[in-house]
Every structure is written in C-alpha cells, then in structure tokens.
Amino acid sequence: GYNIPFDGFDINETEDTRAINQDVIHIIGNRTGCATKLYGDLKTAGAKDVRILYTPADAETPIIQNAHQNEKIEVRNYNHQDDVIRILKDVAAKAGEKTVMFHPGWGFLSENPEFVAKMEGEFTDGKVIFAGPPSEPMAVAGDKLKLRDLVADIDGMGEYNPPYFENRGTLE
C-alpha cells in the first residue's frame, strides 16, 4: 500500500477512466505538497503508473521516501529543461502504446512558457502531453499588461479593467 497522506477526491470509475488510467504514464515534475496531492488524487482515480521526478536534494522528502523505487525518476535539476525532456522521451520510447502525461506541479516548469514551447516542438505526435496550458496563453498570462488587454477584450469583463489605469501601465 501507499503510506502517503493526501486529500483525495471521489470518482465514479467508468470504462473511460479505466482505459485512461491504464493507457497513461503520469509523471509528476514536483516533489512537495503539490506532488503529494496529485499523486494521491491520481492513485485514487485508479492511475496504474504514476512516477515522480526528483532531484538529489529532494531524496529525503516524504513523497520520495514513501514512493516505490520504480515510481522515482531522478533529474539533475528542474531548471535543466533538456534533461527533463530527455527523460520524457526515454519514458515515451519504452511506453509501448501508452501516452506519457507530464504534470509540472507548481512553479519551476509549470509557469515557464519557454519550457512548454520546447515541449510543444519536441512532442508533436501526442505521445507526450503537457498537463497545463499551451505556451502562448501562458506567456500572455505571465505578462500582466498583455493579460489585462486580453481580459478587457472578453465580453462582460471590461468592468474589471479599472478606467484610471491604462493598459500600457501608466496612470491617467
């Protein structure tokens, strides 16, 4: 059994969830509370193959200490994007018919549009999927002024764009 505390959710198992969970290798790119919650939620949902990326500095964290050996994948550093992509390629090459879904966690890779763009360029066949937004909206969301302009163009959202603040970032 698994000895990792988490806040799971209730899910009604269907043929669709069984097929998805048997045909997907989930890789979590985080080792903190996010990983613990996501790991627990995936297991609760019936995921059969969940793996966790970790750095040597993470080896003593509870999620890594309690994971089975075959669930752990060591990476030198989360900031070495090419290492992460190489690992995802290696897992995908050995996955047979399964799809690899990369869950970036919080921070590091999850808020990095350059990393997501690199993944979009490397994995065009659907064999490896990034569980997060595409790079373009992520880049816009990271630029507060562009995001304000984008939101202002959505019907009904204009009232959330204060009139005293121009979207170019200057006070009127």
Q: What element of type H or E holds 101? A: strand 99-103
The encoded tokens of residue 66 equal 């309690």
Residue 13: closest CA among 50, 44, 49, 51: 44
Residue 54's SS3 state is: strand
pLDDT at 117 over 90: yes
Residue 65 has pLDDT above 70, yes or no: yes
pLDDT tens by residue, 67-85: 889 999 999 887 788 999 9
Token match 């549009």: residue? 113
pLDDT band at residue 1, thresholds of 50, 70 and 90?
A: very low
- What confidence tens digit (pLDDT) does each residue in 81-99 have? 899 999 999 999 999 999 9
The type of residue at 3 is N
Has this prediction a pTM greater than 0.75? no
How far is the CA of 94 from the CAs of 1, 53, 80, 82, 127, in angstroms?
26, 17, 22, 18, 11
